[in-house]
Amino acid sequence: MQWVLSMTYLWLKAGHVVFVIFWMAGLFMLPRFFVYHQEAAPDSPENAVWTDREAKLLRIILWPSLVVVWVLGLALAWTIGAFGQGWFHLKLALVLALTAYHVWLAGYHKALANGERRLTGKRLRLLNEVPGIAAALIVILVILKPF
Ligand code: HEM
């Protein structure tokens, strides 16, 4: 029985990290798509192509990965009893911030599809640093568990 439990835990963690990678890849790609999208003329065929690419990235990669990362992450937290641990509280706060960023990006895609170009390319590139910094902090927290 112990063997089954430890294998389940390891498969949960492997699945969790795999979908974390997919989620992060999508979070890095989408703002890049926005930058190239905004370089296209608003009524051009290229504008429509970028809208379609963004929609596919959200539908096929970003939303499913977000759900799987949360489900497997919470299952892991339950398995190891992480809910009372300080590192997990800060990790969860950072992941909630990343999830809010994800939702904001989905909203930006909708606005862009309606012709609204709210941020400059330079601002969008700068924004792309956000998931990188958050991911680094999250990985340090979960591996070192400093508190
Ligand atoms: C969505 C909410 C999330 C929850 C509830 C969650 C929870 C957890 C838990 C409980 C573990 C197991 C820790 C252990 O076994 O010692 C874990 C492992 C891990 N998580 Fe998450 N996590 C989430 C999101 C993320 C995100 C967004 C990242 C990266 C950006 C991430 C990176 C990792 C890594 C790298 C591990 C493996 C650590 C190890 O091997 O010790 N997690 N996660």
Is the pLDDT reported for residue 14 higher than 90? yes
Six-digit token pair at 100?
Answer: 């809010």
Q: What's the average model confidence in pLDDT over 79-102?
A: 96
Is the pLDDT reported for residue 1 higher than 80? no
> CB-based burial of residue 55 (10 Å sphere; 0-12 exposed, 13-18 middle, 19+ buried)?
middle
**Per-residue b or e along 62-84, where b marks 16 or more CB atoms closer than 10 Å to that residue's CB:** beebbebbeebbeebeeeeebee
Ligand 1 binding pocket includes 135 (Cβ within 6 Å): yes
Q: What is the mean pLDDT of the chain?
A: 95
Is the pLDDT reported for residue 75 higher than 90? yes
Ligand 1 center to residue 142 CA distance, Å? 6
Q: Which atom of ligand 1 is nearest to the CA of 135?
A: 30
Contact 105, 31 (CB under 8 A): yes
pLDDT at 90: 98
Ligand 1 binding pocket includes 67 (Cβ within 6 Å): no
Chain-centre distance for alpha carbon 139? 14
pLDDT at 74: 96
Ligand 1 center to residue 95 CA distance, Å? 10
Q: 36, 46, 20: which is closest to 102 by C-alpha? A: 20
State how far the Cα of 95 lies from the Cα of 63, in Å rounded to an integer.
14
* DSSP string covering 24-61: HHHHHHHHHHHHHHHTS-TTSHHHHHHHHHHHHIIIII
Between helix 45-56 and helix 2-38 the angle, nearest 10°, is 170
User: For the segment 20-53, what is each residue's pLDDT rounded down to a tens digit?
Assistant: 999 999 999 999 999 999 999 988 999 999 999 9
Whole-model pTM: value is 0.92
Q: Whose CA is nearest to atom 8 of ligand 1?
A: 73
CA distances from 47 to 14, 54, 132 (A): 38, 11, 27
